[in-house]
Chain A
Amino acid sequence: MTEELIIAGFGGQGVLLTGKLLCVAAMRQGKQVSHIPSYGAEMRGGTANCSVVISDEEIASPVIEKPSIVIALNGPSVAKFEPRVRPGGLLIWNSSLVKNPPTRKDLVLVSLDATDLSLSEGTERAANMAAIGALLKLKPGIVSVDAVEAALDEVISARNRKHNPVNLRILHAGFEKTHKVDAA
């Protein structure tokens, strides 16, 4: 198993944290992981993003040309990364914010009203948690829900740990709302 994920959104949507959370969880489950923030030429175009590789094997480059999975938390991220997903790959997109939905026929396209799910818990900052919930439902092989829950305390700074119960509720809401889909 090797998954190459790009997580993208506005600054402040917790993009880097999402990547780190998945990495720490997968690392604790004995997987090889790498995480690199949007960097260099990647930084243009109104999105913050990070690249995450999770694998059973040693990881070659942390830089991803053609991701197998993209989580797009805003419109510019869909515009930027939809063309780059490898055929047959997965694109999870935030229908709360994205006005122009993705259109590719050779991808698994999964929409989730991630920001609305977050707002229903009184914050607009945890759409990333809903998206993680969707990812865990669709790709249970990457990392388990339990491992992500355990990793939350490791990744979130002590100052913000009080929000973890809310984060978890939003994550589970995303998980419940997402339905398994067949490959494209």
Chain B
Amino acid sequence: MSEKVLMKGNEALAEAAVIAGCRHYFAYPITPQNEIPAYMSRRMPEVGGTFLQAESELAAISMVLGAAAGGVRAMTSSSSPGISLKQEGISYIAGSELPCVLVNIMRGGPGLGAIAGAQGDYFQATRGGGNGDYRTIVLAPGSAQELADFTIEAFDLADEYRMPVMILADGYIGQMSEPVVLPKPSGKSFEKPWALTGAKGRKKNIICSMKLIPDTALEEHNLRLQEKYDLITEKVHRVDTYMTDDADWLVVAYGTSARIARKAVDRLRGEGIKAGLFRPLTLWPFPEKELFEVGSKVQKILTVEMSLGQMVEDVKLTMNGEVEVDFHGRAGGAVPALDDIIERINGYERENHTHVQAS
């Protein structure tokens, strides 16, 4: 099926999960991601899969853990406060080295916040919101099409590295309908000799996060996880750059913020101002190498977020003082205004001219 269809982001993601071979989906209702469970409740029976509306987020993520331990592709989705509840299970899944896909269609916080789209869960997603030393691969789609495409990749990454992979999108990306060409399955397959299929003709398999014996077992486990995370940091980083080759001013943004920033770059270019956009598609690992390469050639970086400053910390860590990093953010469901981004960069230009004249 390669025809363009108008699809809601959430539904494009759900269908892509089915295409990726996901047959076990567990979730609890929360806005703005309710289209995913609604879609799955129709679709899973059609493909012989399991849709189960759990009694809580805690239960839903534990069901994912159980299904993943059985060696199948499992997924859950939620939105910010629900993802907070899932942190328990995410930590266990990371510690147990099980693959699964988690979807966070972000809304405004803290607490119950409001249902409008936001990007306030960047820290929670990229730092690991649960207990212990672990990481989660985080993918940041910016359209309904990318929600679908990244879902296919998320399942492959999860199986390849045996870890949870999170798709992190603001509510607007999930709620918006756009033309989508549904992706094809990747065709990759993964052996799962560790799965719990019964101790027949082999020793028993045990999947657990607790490591007691010997005394050094847990540290060894942590070091092995770290080796895996190091490998991922080396191999898994995706970016999208726009007009960055000759840019003086670089905007760094993801999701809806990046869509607006891209329009701002177009407008600024139309006025002869050399702006460019750097859009990380993986938030963990953060694409440091790529950003430094582009960022060290510009005069100033502006990070734009639908939060009051989270990803900007990664941008600053990456640039390490090499280039000044400025920030513009909106919160609580507000979307950065095109004119505000343009005005900010116009300001840099004016400042620059003043400096040039003064020197």
Contact = CB atoms under 8 A, between A and B. Distances in A.
A62 B172 contact: yes
Contacts of A23: 6, 177
A24 interface: yes
Interface stretch (A6-14, A33-41, A172-180): A33-41
Given A24-B6, A33-B6, A41 B178 contact: no
Nearest to A155: B6
B contact patch SS: mixed
Contacts of B176: 34-36, 62
Contact of A20 (B6, B108, B260, B338): B6
A65 interface: yes
A63 B256 contact: yes
B6 A35 contact: yes
Interface string A37-67: 1011110000000000000011111110100
Interface in A82-107: none
B337 A65 contact: yes
Interface string B139-179: 00000000000000000000000000000000110011111
Nearest to B117: A40
A168 interface: no
B264 to A, nearest CB: 8
A24 to B, nearest CB: 5
B73 interface: no
A96 B112 CA distance: 40
Contacts of B337: 65
Contact of A27 (B179, B256, B262): B179
A32 B144 CA distance: 13
A154 B1 CA distance: 16
Contact of A33 (B108, B178, B256): B178
Given A40-B115, A40-B116, A58-B262, A27 B6 contact: yes
B252 interface: no
Contacts of B114: 40-41
Nearest to A62: B176
A39 B335 contact: no
The range of chain A's interface size is 20 to 34
B32 interface: yes
Interface string B324-359: 000000000101011000000000000000000000
Contacts of B256: 61-63
Contact of B171 (A20, A39, A58): A39
A65 B338 CA distance: 10
B177 to A, nearest CB: 4
Interface in B76-106: none
B250 to A, nearest CB: 18
Max count, chain A CB within 10 A of own CB: residue among B4, B114, B172, B262:
B172
Given A39-B32, A39-B175, A61-B172, 8 more contacts: A33-B179, A40-B117, A40-B333, A41-B114, A58-B262, A60-B262, A60-B338, A62-B175
Interface of A: 20, 23-24, 27, 32-37, 39-42, 57-63, 65
28 contacts: A23-B6, A27-B4, A33-B178, A35-B6, A35-B178, A36-B177, A37-B175, A39-B32, A39-B116, A39-B117, A39-B171, A39-B175, A40-B114, A40-B115, A40-B117, A40-B333, A41-B116, A42-B116, A58-B259, A60-B259, A60-B260, A60-B263, A61-B259, A61-B260, A61-B263, A62-B172, A63-B172, A63-B335
